[in-house]
């Protein structure tokens, strides 16, 4: 191997320039301190590219061997934390290429044949994001499994269902949790769908117009596990819609977990007292000794803001860019990485936290009693006896008013008292006025009857595999 690196200019592109950039500009334009996270993907992409170049006779077999040997060494240096990342070399791509050239000489300089950093970076991000999506999908699965366990244990645990945060009708806690299972199922679908569009190969687009070398893009795609190649070179290097989609899917997932967090916080408030969270997800107060604060759910709710922010950052980054590549795109990485980190950590913590929920079934039942939660059931009962629904609604409204005045719940009235509101009331009325009766009567697919909740859980388990 020959080493001609002594004739290399300081920067990979500086041959054309008459003065160096200032330190501030260097720092402002560099990305190495955040894009080094893609080093593994960068090396993978380079090895596939080099293999293709050798197969096509664009570089020699010895060049390929040198590149492979150099990359093994570089990967080791990076993994051991020994790699010397250098701001002068701008980004992860130039840092690795420079080190490769220092290690193996001319073969290192031949690696960039038929390629540009524009298609290189687009490839690296897609490889990185594909790994992140796979990790997220596995974590959603874990969250779902644990959620189903808690739902199953509470398939028949009555709690008040709310609308307008006012007690509305009885549901079971398991049914309530299964609403979040459905949300997470759609989240998983969205990430799976997004992955299809992430998993396409930009390499070969070169700077923007393709390359005059006889490259084999399909080979590179297969080597890297991409489903297909990007079919337009300008589009391949310039669009980041796949990253925006990922952030949108992430924002929705975080929105769902933020809603669940809000509920956990409410339920855990001593004023409500429906659940307790395991101590390891809460913190105390430095001044108020009695406090146990739900910090983790609060932070999930808070971090949803930054994920939403990243989505808007990427949309805004893209909207004014003419084709093809512009340096603006370098700004895609930090919001993207931050989003993936936030989603991954949030899912990890949630999968664990959900198993640490202690359900206070008595408090849930007490709240139901105070809320006239079976009022709709009484109205439905009267309708089934022949009263038009609007009249039934009115009769029950009067009954609730009377109960409020007496300070009791509807099932506490005697038969005679109830008959005062409608002569259609018979002694079978008490079956529908109880919480259990109300729950059991909602026995259709998607309803809150405990048997239906159990069926929903079984259905969900079969989709998880």
DSSP-derived pairing of the beta strands 200-201 and 228-229: parallel
Q: How far is the CB of 194 from ligand ARG (least distance, A)?
A: 21
**Is residue 157 at the binding interface for ligand ARG, with CB under 6 A as the rule?**
no
Q: How far is the CB of 329 from ligand ARG (least distance, A)?
A: 5
Q: Are 70 and 100 in contact (CB under 8 A)?
A: yes
Listed ranges 75-83, 116-124, 189-197, 347-355: which one lies at the site for ligand ARG (CB under 6 A): 116-124
Which of 109, 117, 175, 301 is close enough to bind ligand ARG by CB under 6 A?
117
Which residue of the set 164, 212, 444, 462 is catalytic?
A: 164
112 is catalytic: no
Listed ranges 174-182, 241-249, 265-273, 321-329: which one lies at the site for ligand ARG (CB under 6 A): 321-329
**Is residue 16 at the binding interface for ligand ARG, with CB under 6 A as the rule?**
no
Q: Which is nearer to ligand ARG, 24 or 405 (CB)?
A: 24
Q: Which is nearer to ligand ARG, 210 or 356 (CB)?
A: 210
Which of 172, 258, 329, 448 is close enough to bind ligand ARG by CB under 6 A?
329
**Is residue 115 at the binding interface for ligand ARG, with CB under 6 A as the rule?**
no
Which residue's structure tokens are 């300089």? 109
Q: List the structure tokens of 272.
A: 């409500």
Listed ranges 65-73, 138-146, 197-205, 326-334: which one lies at the site for ligand ARG (CB under 6 A): 326-334
The whole-angstrom separation of Cα 417 and Cα 194 is 60
Q: Which is nearer to ligand ARG, 29 or 463 (CB)?
A: 29
**Is residue 31 at the binding interface for ligand ARG, with CB under 6 A as the rule?**
yes
- Number of residues near ligand ARG (by CB under 6 A): 10
**Could you tell me where the DSSP H helices lie in 154-240?**
173-198, 217-224, 233-238
Q: Which is nearer to ligand ARG, 262 or 334 (CB)?
A: 334
**Is residue 121 at the binding interface for ligand ARG, with CB under 6 A as the rule?**
yes
**Is residue 123 at the binding interface for ligand ARG, with CB under 6 A as the rule?**
no
Listed ranges 66-74, 114-122, 295-303, 436-444: which one lies at the site for ligand ARG (CB under 6 A): 114-122
Q: Are 136 and 191 in contact (CB under 8 A)?
A: yes
Q: List the structure tokens of 80.
A: 């051991």
Q: Are 20 and 10 in contact (CB under 8 A)?
A: yes
Handedness of CA 90, 93, 96, 100 (dihedral sign): negative
Question: Dihedral angle at the C-alpha atoms of 57, 58, 62, 66, nearest 10 degrees?
Answer: -140
The whole-angstrom separation of Cα 265 and Cα 388 is 41
Q: Which is nearer to ligand ARG, 334 or 366 (CB)?
A: 334
Residue 108: name the closest of 44, 55, 64 by CA.
64
The DSSP letter of residue 322 is P
With residue 172 as reference, give the H or E element that holds it: strand 166-172
Q: Which is nearer to ligand ARG, 123 or 330 (CB)?
A: 330
At 217 the three-state DSSP class reads: helix
**Is residue 46 at the binding interface for ligand ARG, with CB under 6 A as the rule?**
no
Q: How far is the CB of 358 from ligand ARG (least distance, A)?
A: 47
Q: How far is CA 165 from the centre of its chain?
A: 27
Which of 319, 327, 358, 444 is close enough to bind ligand ARG by CB under 6 A?
327
Which residue's structure tokens are 């930090």? 334
Which residue's structure tokens are 């679908």? 189
Interactions with ligand ARG, residue window 73-102 (CB under 6 A): 91
5 is catalytic: no
452: Cβ contacts below 8 Å, ≥ 6 apart: 175, 442, 443, 444, 445, 446
**Is residue 118 at the binding interface for ligand ARG, with CB under 6 A as the rule?**
yes
Q: Which is nearer to ligand ARG, 121 or 275 (CB)?
A: 121
**Is residue 330 at the binding interface for ligand ARG, with CB under 6 A as the rule?**
yes
Q: Which is nearer to ligand ARG, 130 or 176 (CB)?
A: 130
The whole-angstrom separation of Cα 315 and Cα 194 is 16
C-alpha separations of 6 from 2, 9, 242, 285, 354 in Å:
11, 8, 41, 62, 60
* Binding residues vs ligand ARG (CB under 6 A): 31, 35, 91, 117-118, 121, 325, 327, 329-330
Residues involved in catalysis: 164, 285
């Amino acid at each position: 191997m020959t080493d001609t690196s002594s004739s290399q200019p300081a920067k990979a592109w500086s041959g054309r320039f008459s003065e160096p950039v200032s330190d501030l500009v260097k720092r402002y334009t560099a990305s190495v301190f955040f894009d080094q996270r893609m080093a593994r993907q960068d090396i993978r992409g380079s090895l596939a590219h080099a293999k293709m170049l050798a197969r096509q006779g664009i570089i020699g077999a010895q060049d390929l061997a040198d590149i492979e040997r150099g990359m093994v060494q570089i990967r080791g240096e990076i993994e051991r934390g020994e790699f010397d990342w250098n701001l002068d070399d701008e980004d992860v791509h130039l840092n690795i290429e420079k080190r490769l050239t220092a290690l193996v000489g001319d073969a290192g300089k031949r690696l960039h044949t038929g390629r540009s950093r524009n298609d290189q970076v687009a490839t690296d991000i897609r490889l990185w994001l594909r790994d992140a999506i796979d990790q997220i999908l596995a974590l959603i699965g874990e969250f779902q499994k644990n959620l189903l366990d808690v739902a199953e244990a509470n398939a028949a645990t009555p709690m008040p269902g709310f609308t307008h945060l006012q007690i509305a009708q009885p549901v079971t806690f398991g049914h309530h949790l299964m609403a979040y299972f459905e949300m997470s199922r759609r989240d998983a679908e969205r990430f799976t769908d997004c992955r299809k569009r992430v998993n396409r190969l930009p390499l070969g687009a070169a700077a923007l117009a393709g390359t005059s070398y006889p490259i084999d893009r399909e080979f590179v795609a297969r080597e890297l596990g991409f489903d297909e190649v990007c079919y337009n070179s300008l589009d391949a290097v310039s669009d980041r819609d796949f990253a925006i989609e990922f952030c949108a899917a992430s924002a929705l997932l975080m929105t769902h977990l933020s809603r669940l967090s809000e509920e956990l916080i409410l339920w855990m408030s001593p004023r409500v007292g429906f659940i307790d969270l395991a101590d390891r997800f809460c913190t105390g107060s430095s001044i108020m000794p009695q406090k146990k604060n739900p910090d983790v759910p609060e932070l999930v709710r808070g971090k949803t803001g930054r994920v939403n922010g990243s989505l808007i950052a990427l949309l805004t980054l893209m909207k004014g860019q003419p084709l093809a590549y512009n340096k603006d795109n370098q700004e895609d990485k930090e919001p993207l990485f931050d989003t993936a980190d936030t989603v991954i950590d949030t899912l990890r913590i949630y999968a664990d936290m959900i198993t640490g929920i202690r359900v206070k079934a008595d408090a849930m039942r007490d709240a139901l009693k105070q809320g006239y939660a079976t009022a709709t059931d009484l109205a439905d009962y009267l309708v089934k006896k022949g009263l038009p629904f609007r009249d039934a609604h009115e009769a029950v409204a009067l009954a609730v008013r009377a109960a409020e005045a007496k300070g009791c719940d509807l099932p506490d009235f005697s038969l005679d008292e109830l008959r005062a509101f409608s002569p259609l009331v018979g002694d079978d009325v008490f079956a529908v006025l109880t919480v259990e009766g109300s729950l059991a009567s909602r026995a259709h697919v998607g309803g809150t009857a405990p048997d239906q909740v159990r069926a929903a859980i079984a259905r969900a388990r079969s989709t998880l595999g």
